[in-house]
Each structure stands twice: as C-alpha cells, then as structure tokens.
Amino acid sequence: MDKQIVRRQGSPLDDPSLPPILQRIYGSRGISDSGELDRSLRVLESPKSLMGLSQSVTEIADAVCQGKRILVVGDFDCDGATSSALSVLALRAMGAAWVDFLVPDRFRFGYGLSPEIVAVAAEQTPDLLITVDNGISSIEGVRAAKDRGIKVVVTDHHLPGESLPDADGVVNPNQNGCPFPSKNLCGVGVIFYVMSALRRELESRQWFSQQQIAVPNMAAYLDLVALGTVADVVPLDQNNRILIEQGIRRIRGGVARPGILALLAIAGRDHRRLISSDLGFAVGPRLNAAGRLEDMSIGIECLLSDDQDRAQQLAYQLDELNQDRKRIEQSMQEQALQILETISVEGSGELPAGLCLHDSDWHEGVIGILASRIKERMHRPVIAFADAENNMIKGSARSIPGLHIRDALDAVAARHPTLLSKFGGHAMAAGMSLPKDNFPLFRQAFDEEVRRQLSDEDFQAKVETDGELQSAEFSLETAQLLRDAGPWGQQFSEPLFDGVFDLIEQRIVGQKHLKMMVADRHSGHCIDAIAFNVDTQIWPNSASQVRLAYKLDINEFRGRTSVQLLVDYLEPC
C-alpha cells in the first residue's frame, strides 16, 4: 500500500543546552519542559496514589509473615511472563515460605483468572492468589476462588468493565477513581509498584531483621520491568521511559537476569549496546513464542533461572519455538492474503473498513501477529479468528489510529448483545470469543461500526517523519546522539527522517531484504541503507532516485563502524 509521508509538527523545545536536532525532535513529541526528559529514579511517580495499594499490600504482607501459600497467576505473553517472574523472585527474596506461579494454557482455559483455572490452582492449596497482568475482568473467577476460601489480590492494567471483581485487593491505575497519574503502566510495571510497597510494609513490620533477611533492592528487577514494558507496546510517558531506561542501564552493565542475557546473545544482540528496540524485536518475540505455541512456563523459567547454563538451554528452546512461530505465521499470512483477494463489499471490489478474517486451520496462538501484519499491510482495523472448542472462535484484533478497538467492540456488543461471548483489551489491541455461527453477522456489525467511526482519510496510511537531515548530520556522532536520547517506543517514537537520494546500488540479500547504496544529493556522500521485507516484485528496479523514510543507525561489521540508514518506507522517484 502506498503511504503518505507527513512531517511532525510542534514547537522546538526551548533548551539551549540541547543540540537543535533534539530540540526539534523532543518538541514534536510534546515535550515542553526539559524536566520531562529526566530519566532518574528520583522522579519516578510515587506508588502512594495507586488506589487499592494499601489494602492489597496488607493482604500480601500478612500472607508472607504468616507463612501462607502464595500462587501467582499470570498471562501467556511477555508482559505476563515478566510480571510472573518479578513477583516470584521478589516474594522469595522477601522471605515468603511458599510461592509459585501458574499460567493458564491459552488453548484450554483462555485468558485470565477463570473459574476453570481457579480449580487448577486449588490443587496446590494456595491461601492467596495474586493475579498479574490480568484479573480486572475476572469477576466469576474471583468469586470461585473466594467460594473455596482462597484470598485474591488483583494487579492489572487492562481497562475495567462496568463492575470490578470482589477481590481482597485491586491495584490497577485504570480503575475508575484511581488518581495515579501514569495510566500507561503495563502489568509488570504495576506489580513492580506493588512489590516495592510490599518491601516498605515488611520493613515497617521489622520482618527482614526478625528473619535475618537482607532487604531486597527493588532496582534489581528493573531489567524485567524494562523488557515487559517495551514488549507490551504501552505508551512511553515519562514514568515508563524512566523504568525502561533504568532497566536498560542494568542490562548494559551485565547486571540482569541470566535468561535475558541468554536471549539477547542467541538473537545476536550485544547487551552492552542494548537499545529498547532490541527488547521489542529480539527478546520479546522469543518469550512470546512459548505462550503462542506451547507453554509460557518455559519463558518464565528462563527468566527465573539463576543458572547460566540452564538459562541458555531454555533460551535455545525459546528460539526454536520462535522459528516455528515464524513458519506458521508465514503460511497463515499467505492464506490471509488469498482470502483478501476474494473479499469485496457488495461486489464493488473494495475491502471492508473493518477486516474480519477466519480460517479453521489457523493457529490460535499466532492470530494476533497475523492481525498485526495484515493491519500494517492494508491500514485498517483487522480481527483474525481461529477455531476454539465447543463451536466457538477466538479473535485477536489490531487497530489503527483513530479507532479505540475495545470501545468499538463495546459498541458492537451494545447493538448486538448476543453476538460476543466476551471481549477485552486496549485502544490498539483486543481479544474476543464468539460462537462460530455468529461470525457472518459479527463481521458485518464490526465493519459498520468502523465505518461509523472512521473517515476515508483515516484509511490513508501515513508515515510521520522528523523531516530531512542536513548533510553534516549523516554522521556517527548524530546517530549516537539519537540512540542515547531515548528510550524510544510507543507514542514516543524513534526519530524517523525522510529525503530523496540518488540510488547508486541495489540488490536483494537474505531473500527479501533490499541492500542499497544511496548518495546524499547535496553533498554526494554515499551511505549504506537497508530495507527489510520488501516486495521483490517491485525491487530491485530501474529507479535512479528513491525517496526514503529512514532511521539513522550505527552498523558494526567485521570491526568497522559506519552509518547506515534503516529504511521504514521507500518509493521510486
């Protein structure tokens, strides 16, 4: 799909101590005060304003001090894995007599604290369940646990429904009335705050001195917080940028979980030069592969392991699962594109505004990635469905700017109360279940809702850039400056530039990547560039000039360091 290159607007940040290029970049991202760039822990938001924190921490502290059995119930994605690992590690370090974790099998139990997973948990006779990255919508599951005499503390970040579960404690910055200013915490961020408050509570009870336990350093868990926050693609407000930056610093220094270091190594990333995108594109997918194809327990055990050899073995397993995931995803994507060729709206040949795709052979664990890939390709909201048990189908949705996908599903459910069995999610991603027979009507209702909310302009894919670079800025110094100015991520995007270049050389490498040599038209200086996963029916071609949207990167190869353009979008001129 052709894209429109647009340049970000905004007044430059007025700070003479910063280079002009950073003043421009920060200003276009809404930074109006240099204090918003402080990435030190001293300006991290205090947990005191988190609603329900005191009650929840009291319950957990009582369980620790009384030697109760604590079971952490997590989720089967990277955020859930890091949340589970952090909880178990912190509770063990704080002297909990018995603590373990349980992750629902997504294929048998689905997401969250369901009554069925409570029955599985009850086999371990826990006194307290702590949900991480789930639970805010688990009204029936919490009730089932309470009926069994099991206490429940819910920690979550997902948007709540009209009613909250009747838990013994609920911590979620997005619950109604919670004054905590950073609403963008992910699951591991929430449980980091809870465990930090728990440490203070146990200190006030003199628990550590009585038990002769060293007081845990909560900063030791920031590598997990950084990984989960980046992988969950939550908006990077200042609070999240602090958490990520501090975690990255620890990883760069080699002070990190052996499992994280092993996953970086197997992905060919040097932990000493780590940037946030390495966590998102190298570590996160390998952990997620376990939850998508088999059992996220493998990923959690990798993060929990203190033994380097064991962590490396588990990292190899995760890497193999990720390779399997890629093969499955590629096959599903080819099938999805074939389905798209047959779809039209009333025979017009136009695609629906909201795409719903289903194939009975698709892998339930990979439909989220598939929806994301098709969304990127077609630039419209996409829901991919796979078969589930009892004649049900499960869907994973991905949205585009302008459509809050969970609210759109809520609107569909309001108009058609019997269509959806359950749903939940965020602005840009959601999950749902519905009877298979309801699919045709749901597909129509979803398309109608998307058309109600979006205009034709919303379906024009745009590439937002920070404008052109000056000839002198194509340098290692500028590339390093930009690398250090992050962490970059969702709603605080990595600097992306655009310009027209002379195309000197072009060739395909690795089957579908376009390696280029381009020349700056003003200085004539030649620069290496690479575009990943290009359409090989279009590239290479006979163009002599090319317009690029690119990131300025540092390439290290055989001891040589040079500037390289990482191309996000290209079109011949």
Side chain identity, residue 565: L
pLDDT at residue 544 in the model: 95
Tell me how far apart the terminal alpha carbons of the chain are, to the nearest angstrom: 16
The one-letter amino acid code at 19 reads P
| Percentage of the residues of the chain whose pLDDT score is greater than 70 | 99
Query: What domains appear along the chain, each with residue ranges and CATH number?
Result: 41-319 (3.90.1640.30), 343-459 (3.10.310.30), 464-572 (2.40.50.460)
Nearest Cα to Cα of residue 186 among 160, 158, 161, 159: 158
- DSSP label of 253: T
Whether residue 208 has pLDDT greater than 70 = yes
**Paired tokens of 276:** 């946030």
CA distances 63 to 17, 54, 98, 176, 192, Å, are: 51, 14, 10, 27, 18
At residue 348 the predicted structure's pLDDT band, cuts being 50, 70 and 90, is low
Residue 416: half-sphere exposure toward Cβ, Cα within 13 Å = 19
User: Mean of the pLDDT values across residues 511-540?
Assistant: 94
Q: Distance between CA 467 and CA 9 in Å, rounded? A: 10
Measured from the Cβ of residue 535, the count of other Cβ atoms closer than 10 Å reads 8
Predicted local confidence at residue 106, as pLDDT: 77
Q: What is the pTM of this model?
A: 0.93
d(CA 453, CA 155): 32
Mean pLDDT of the chain: 95
Min mean pLDDT across 45-59, 97-111, 195-209, 283-297 is at 97-111
Average pLDDT over residues 536-545: 93
Q: Structure tokens of 313? A: 């073995």
The amino acid at residue 407 is D
- What pLDDT sits at residue 341? 85
pLDDT tens-digit series, residues 136-191: 999 999 999 999 999 999 999 998 988 999 999 999 999 999 999 999 999 999 99
pLDDT of 430 > 70? The answer is yes
Q: What's the confidence (pLDDT) of residue 549?
A: 98
Mean pLDDT of 198-222: 98
pLDDT (average), residues 447-461:
95
Q: How many angstroms separate the Cα of 314 from the Cα of each of 226, 317, 367?
A: 20, 5, 25
